[in-house]
Structure 1
Amino acid sequence: MSVDKPGNRPGEVAIEALRRIDPRHPRSYLAGDRLYNKQQRDKFQLPICAMGYQPVYDYALDQLGVKDHFAGAELIEGNWYCPSMPQPLKDATKDLAAGRIDKQTWIDRIRERTTYLFMAKERTDAEGHRRLMCPAEARRTQCTLKPYTLGRGIHLPLIDPDLGPVDAFKCCDQRTITLPPEAGANLWQPLQYGTAEWQRVYFRLRNAIEGMNGFAKDPLRERIEPGGTRRIRGIAAQTILVAFQLAHANRRKLTSWADAIALHGDRPKRRPTRRRKTKPIGAWTPKGYVTTA
């Protein structure tokens, strides 16, 4: 853990805590709220990728739509797409947030985006460079700028870029492009935003985070939120006392879990909590938490 003033150096504080995690634990997806994808890439996004984590983000209203370019490819809500993707697909989430389309239309447009997504050609190298191929090279579309991709069937969309007087983009001239780690690092994420897989991973991680926060804030238990439980001045003293409170919360959670399972053939000490019938996690969409407020 690491402690600082609220909203002060959140990226650096997160990195300090992550560096203290036992390296034997596997490192995969890492989720945070919208505060973290607004940090400077050198202080949060690039360090977590170097440690082996893959970010999973949600985005604020000013982060929706096309937000970056590299070699002609466009970064839209964390993923790289063909620059000739239809405009309604580029603005899908913006239109949902503005109330111009309904939830089902948004879901359909997110699925259509997959056709225009740049695909990984190789694994990310040790320095963080990613080699991607355009959707025509990935056999998802047909492009008039690459004649060898034509004639693959009418089931594949035909892309006919209107480049005007300028030359073709680099991503259209070449079979692949190599993205440096800093390209779009603030907003990039490996999962395609809005898909069922993204929803499953993001909401599961965010629910786990907020669930643990609420568990440790229990007014009849550790009560980490009110400062009255730590009546002493100084960041060092506050850090030590919060550490004790969180350790006690962790121990209480582990004890509760152990009491709900059968060990060594014995019956559980208490009956497991009956789960409520709820919607599948993939059924939830940004409508409801992407607002105009």
Structure 2
Amino acid sequence: MGFKPVYDYAKDQLGSKDEYEGAQLVEGNWYCPSMPEHLVNATADLIAERIDKQMWIERTRQRTQYLFLPKQAADAEGHRRMMCPAQAGRVQCPLKPHTLGKGVHLTLVDVLPSPVEPHAVCKSGSVTFPPEAGAQLWQPLQHGREHWQRIYFRLRNSVEGVNGFGKDPLYEHFESGGTRRIRGIAAQTLLLAFQLGHANRRKLTAWADAIALNGDRPRRRPTRRRKTRPLGDWTPKGYVTKTDKRTENEPDQ
């Protein structure tokens, strides 16, 4: 239908959880098979309190240089041609000599030793990923990065806001089974759809009443929004506070 997934991960879904032709799926995205372990396990280390929030943010940013990039748009069935970060000019790799000597600003990949031949992604310029590869955990945006945060929290806040709006005991009261006194999943679903429709109409009415039209005053005062925290300060263990940043910058005693 054209929609793309954006979601968070449970503790048992962190780190490298799938593999295709050598590329590893780390929290929703395909990365170089030789990406350092401390970057692969960055989120798991944060949850286990082995690193702090600021270090987690830095490590998720460092992952970008090992990220596989699309070479072309996905076809009608979902197959997509992807190229490794060395081929894309983001790192230098000994397995691809033509990528060496591109500048000291590019990281030199420390290729993991293997008794067998290099992975398919390391022997060719690009690899076609089928739609079923990593489908359970894949998402197009890098987990934890600023763009992911903007999309994820906007969607989550919208969903939670509607849930809270519809749970108001003076109106639809979604969470109470007593508002839908009938048995059966089909019947419950149909009645819940009517409740959602009523909640949407109530929300639209409140919005329309807060707008000034033709120079007239709005019928009701607009709701004051709460101040929100900068998305770039978010981590899976909460927002980075000023105290965290000050502690990060203070020298060891």
Residue number among 86, 94, 116 corresponding to 1:166 in the alignment: 116
Indicate the SS of the match to 2:5: strand
Alignment pair present for 1:73 and 2:56: no
Unpaired stretches in structure 1, ≥5 consecutive residues = 1-50
Residue 276 of structure 1 corresponds to which residue in structure 2?
A: 226
TM norm structure 1 = 0.79
1:94 aligns with 44
| Equivalent AA in structure 2 for residue 237 of structure 1 | A
Amino acid at match of 1:246: L
- CA gap 1:87/1:247 in 2 versus in 1, 3 angstroms: same
Identity among equivalent pairs (%): 69
2-structure distance, mates of 1:238, 1:219: 18
Q: 1:54 is paired with a residue of what secondary structure?
A: coil
TM-score, normalised via structure 2 length: 0.91
Deviation at 1:124, TM superposition (A): 1.1
Structure 2, gaps ≥5 residues long: 240-253
Superposition map of 1:138-287 within 5 A: 138-287=88-237
Shift of the alpha carbon at 1:159?
A: 1.3
Partner Cα separation in structure 2 for residue 234 and residue 113 of structure 1: 48
Residues 154-197 of structure 1: per-residue CA shift (max 9 Å, x gap): 00001141333210110000000100000000000000111011
Deviations 1:71-101 (A, max 9, x none): 1000000000001111100000010111111
Higher CA-based Rg? 2
Q: Residue deviations 1:38-91, cap 9 Å, x none? A: xxxxxxxxxxxxx11110121111100110100100000000000111110000
Alpha-carbon distance in 2 for matches of 1:227, 1:233: 10
**Equivalent residue pairs, number:** 239
Q: Deviations over 1:228-253 (max 9, x none)?
A: 11222333432332222111101000
In angstroms, what is the RMSD of aligned CA positions?
1.4
- Whole-Å separation in 2 of the counterparts to 1:251 and 1:174: 55
d(CA) in 1 for partners of 2:10, 2:74: 28
Amino acid paired to 1:54: K
Counterpart code for 1:116: Y
Q: For 1:179, give the aligned amino acid.
A: F
Distance in 2 (alpha carbons) for counterparts of 1:88 and 1:105: 11
CA distance in 2, matches of 1:162, 1:214: 50
